[in-house]
Amino acid sequence: MTDSSSRPPRLGAFRYVDQAKVLSALSIVRHGDVVSLNLPLDGPPLVDSPAGRPALRRIARMHNQIRPRGDGSFVVVSDDVVELAMQGSTHWDALAHWGAIEPNDAAVYFGGAGLDETFPEFRAKTLGIDQLAGGVVTRGVLLDLVREVEAPDALFLEDEHNIGLAEVQACLQREHIDLAAGDAVFIYTGFQHRLRERGFLPKAPDGTVGQAPAPGLRLDTLDFWKDARIFALCSDNPSVEPIPMPTGRFHTIALKHLGIQLGELFALDELAAKCRGDGVYEFLFVSIPLNVQRAFGSPGNAVAIR
């Protein structure tokens, strides 16, 4: 095992995911059942450009290139190049993704970092996604808020059924879960079901795109997450907090003030079904973000192992 003293310090709430936490999380696995938590990277964007993130673009670098091997046989080679939005599908927000200029506070980003954390170069000096790129291995906990808040046959949270502290605590009690330092908490709202049934961005008669609401976590939960010393909040919706999010106050407190990592648009339908099936809502969570130095986000590249 690598000596922890040789590693760079882990920033924000990621510091709670230490060697002891990893070993504890490994002991959770019961069935060897691996569940992908990723939406397709080449899926359609929720919002068209320029307001939203562009769709993945795939280019053929080589396509069925035939090369002789000198013995009368040939090899056939294909190779592709992709251009993708780092936060266009299932993704992590880096701590440098979201800052805030606030009265009586010289800091803009987590840990007292100022605007020079991301300026003038287009990169994060210390708070980029490479902080997580070495790998995230920890305990994951799914909070099935659809089952907690809605009728038994509901597939998703209804508009403006946002999640407050009372709902979070009731859900944890129903699932017999006690949170521990370093946990990654997953908020299941059924957003993908809602997206398939109702869409997300209806257009007005004049062609103007409006923003439909999507339920998320209320501000009154933030002190609870802080006290529990969780590592991350991940959701199946686009923002963890409710949409519309005109001021993004939840993002500001979580990323800037608490250093809690945020993950968005995680694919949680299959995981929720399996957790409901056996009543076990904890799992080993593994994520390997792209090792793009000083980037502001990354695809999740994540699995749950039960």
The stretch 143-151 carries a mean pLDDT of: 97
CA dihedral 20, 8, 182, 236 (to 10 degrees): -130
Residue 202 scores a pLDDT above 90: no
**Secondary structure of 86-142 in the HEC alphabet?**
CCCCCEEECHHHCCCCECCECCCCHHHCCHHHCCCCCCCCCCCHHHCCCCEEEEEEE
- What is the distance between the alpha carbons of residues 86 and 124, in angstroms, rounded to a whole number? 14
Whether the predicted model's global pTM rises above the 0.75 cut: yes
Q: Please write the tens of the pLDDT for every residue from 235-291.
A: 999 999 999 887 899 999 999 999 999 999 999 999 999 999 999 999 999 999 999
Query: Where is 60: in which H helix or E strand?
Result: strand 57-68
| Contact of 240 with 250, CB cutoff 8 Å | yes
What integer pLDDT is reported at residue 1 of this predicted model? Answer: 45
- What is the distance between the alpha carbons of residues 214 and 112, in angstroms, rounded to a whole number? 32
Residue 200 scores a pLDDT above 90: no
What integer pLDDT is reported at residue 239 of this predicted model? Answer: 94
Amino acid at 219: L
Residue 205 scores a pLDDT above 80: no
Q: Please write the tens of the pLDDT for every residue from 66-85.
A: 999 999 999 999 999 999 99
- What is the distance between the alpha carbons of residues 297 and 41, in angstroms, rounded to a whole number? 14
Q: What is the CA radius of gyration of the chain?
A: 21
Residue 3 scores a pLDDT above 60: no
The CA angle 281-266-300, to the nearest 5 degrees, is 110
Binned at pLDDT 50, 70 and 90, residue 93 comes out as: very high
Residue 160 scores a pLDDT above 90: no
| Contact of 88 with 79, CB cutoff 8 Å | no
The stretch 98-119 carries a mean pLDDT of: 96
- What is the distance between the alpha carbons of residues 263 and 137, in angstroms, rounded to a whole number? 15
The stretch 161-177 carries a mean pLDDT of: 98
What integer pLDDT is reported at residue 155 of this predicted model? Answer: 97
Q: 208 or 173: which carries more pLDDT confidence?
A: 173
- What is the distance between the alpha carbons of residues 212 and 238, in angstroms, rounded to a whole number? 12
